Amino acid sequence: MAFDIKGFRTVDWMPNPSGEAGANLNVHKYVTNDDTSAVQTSGYFNSIWRRLKKGDHIDMTLDLDATVMRRNYIVTASTSSGVTVAAQNVA
């Protein structure tokens, strides 16, 4: 499937210890019927690359229509050419 903005929310932000202007990291939530392999596909979040920055956290509830699971991801890159995320709790 594809990313659906209706399931995505920015819920908080955390100050970055660097203290640089605009360096805050965001905390997002995302719910979807997609599974882990879909959301980890390169480019899944490309349509919202302007809302994501490297280091942002995304707490996801996945696979709602099958085996529901919760996973945490960190944005590893977010540019106009692509967004990538990495799973943080893979146990």
33 has a pLDDT exceeding 90:
yes
Under 8 Å between Cβ of 1 and 38? yes
Which pTM value belongs to this model? 0.85
**What pLDDT is recorded for position 49?**
94
Query: How many domains is the chain partitioned into structurally?
Result: 1
Q: What is the pLDDT of residues 58-86, one digit of tens each?
A: 999 999 999 999 999 999 999 999 999 99
**What pLDDT is recorded for position 36?**
92
Query: Which residues contact residue 63 at a Cβ distance below 8 angstroms, ignoring those fewer than 6 apart?
Result: 32, 33, 34, 35, 36, 69
**What pLDDT is recorded for position 24?**
81
**Domain that includes residue 9, residue range:** 5-87
Looking at residue 27, its amino acid is: V
